[in-house]
Structure 1
């Protein structure tokens, strides 16, 4: 950028560069506003290389737009790993008296994972804590989902290409239990609507927390899910 070793500009650096170019620094904000330029976080993006991208995408969009009358559309994904550590965050505190969290250098308690599901029609979220996310864990969670609905209702489960999802035992279970596994295209997990719900979960449960036991973290997550399901209209989505 103008031969300077920056990846981005702060207002102070813009001001300094503008003064060297004999530009009045006080109008920098005006110029930025008129150009509709705001200070934003950069994001990564990966294009799907799936040869059947359009076919799979249209199939998932059709399930969202016109849910089948013979069943229910469920989005499934895993959230984690969840470790017992202080999570930095933001909050409202007295001036110059921010909340202090302990520092940790060893984490001997291992990790857990949240297996989560979103019922598209009712917009209800469900989750179960798990020590791992192997195919056996996925099957246990799927059995819980299957028991929530009458077996005559077909479940259309939208999920990504995580290898345990493709395990032959998982696919065999689906055929035996009136379940259709609908996989997102490669590198296109954003088509799974449950993805946008993990941001608020991370923000309102993890950020600023310091749980000492996994059971306490799991209880906090369940409490948030119950609150969220009762207050869907005021729920804020973070992508």
Structure 2
């Protein structure tokens, strides 16, 4: 008789956060990383056989890890069985105390622990603290930014946008569009020094401002090619001008699905009138505070890293020429960004993030 599919593994938000850190860790033991990934996949409802094949373990191993988690949680997670390998240099209670204090307390007058301060607090060596942090992927010196969208239509907009990525419509072009506004033409106060062996390129910390421009860009999700245009501002008049540019660039006979944010310019009355006269254009708005859903933001990051940040521009015209050169070079060999996350997986992570926020703020 066929075995019924296992129910999704129940993991509370606190343990989920720990498992995600281990799964992303480059310092943790391979078996720990593998086990964390298996448990996370089990919580997302991945079947045991698929889970085992995806992470290159046996089905029995997946079942054993699930059963142990259901029985013991993270207690003893990833530890070597008694009687095998080198004996631990400090007791499990001390390790648990290091992890607990790192995650839940702060040194007096400071925002986070250093390994030496934690070592002095606990009474162990700083190398021991560092080793414990490495094993569970804790990095107190680092901070990442995030914001959970509070858009009341978050789920509907998310499903709409991700659906365009994973299942694009026929006879249509899907474009991720946004404006990179107020790009400054910055000139340095002294000439930069070239890179030499043992020293990178150097440039002055101060600069002279020579004006700004706004880049309108639309990334073709299928090919990675970008339609771009620099304009003085980013009002609805400039947005309409860019829509007309897109209209000339996209072959007739194809619908145009534009993924863009909720900026008021995109919903201006004149824009709505133009869209009525051009029915092949369809606008899809990302949820508020969810710019990460728009793939053109990834291209903007590349533009900043590879062209703008170390550029020297004595005028706005120089800046625009440099951006256009980068755009032309990119379009000679474009590469699309591969979107793999499903709407269901994103919604699950969002629910966990909201639960964690409620836990912290309650």
Q: Taking structure 1 as the reference length, what is the TM-score of the superposition?
A: 0.83
The partner residue of 1:230 within 329, 332, 336 is 332
Residue 188 of structure 1: how far off its partner (Å): 2.1
Task: Provide the residue aligned with 2:359 in structure 1.
Answer: none
In 2, the alpha carbon distance for the partners of 1:103 and 1:196 equals 27
Residue 94 of structure 1: how far off its partner (Å): 4.1
The partner residue of 1:191 within 286, 293, 305 is 293
SS in 1 for 2:186: coil
Residue 121 of structure 1: how far off its partner (Å): 1.2
Larger helix share, 1 or 2? 2
Task: Provide the residue aligned with 1:73 in structure 2.
Answer: 174
| Deviates further, 22-31 or 57-66 | 22-31
Contact map agreement 1:86 1:101 (CA 8 A) in 2: no
List alignment gaps of at least 5 residues for structure 1: none
Task: Provide the residue aligned with 1:36 in structure 2.
Answer: 137
| Deviates further, 51-60 or 92-101 | 92-101
List alignment gaps of at least 5 residues for structure 2: 1-104, 189-193, 338-362
In 2, the alpha carbon distance for the partners of 1:93 and 1:208 equals 17
Task: Provide the residue aligned with 1:64 in structure 2.
Answer: 165
Cα distance change of structure 1 residues 221 and 189 upon mapping to structure 2, 3 Å threshold: same
Higher-Rg member (1/2) = 2
Q: Taking structure 2 as the reference length, what is the TM-score of the superposition?
A: 0.57
SS in 2 for 1:158: strand
In 1, the alpha carbon distance for the partners of 2:129 and 2:333 equals 42
Give 1:111-190 correspondences, 5 Å limit: 111-177=212-278, 178-190=280-292
Residue 233 of structure 1: how far off its partner (Å): 5.1
Contact map agreement 1:56 1:185 (CA 8 A) in 2: yes
Task: Provide the residue aligned with 1:45 in structure 2.
Answer: 146
In 2, the alpha carbon distance for the partners of 1:78 and 1:111 equals 13
Number of corresponding residues: 227
Task: Provide the residue aligned with 2:315 in structure 1.
Answer: 213
SS in 2 for 1:157: strand
Cα distance change of structure 1 residues 190 and 17 upon mapping to structure 2, 3 Å threshold: closer
| Deviates further, 51-60 or 135-144 | 51-60
Contact map agreement 1:101 1:210 (CA 8 A) in 2: no
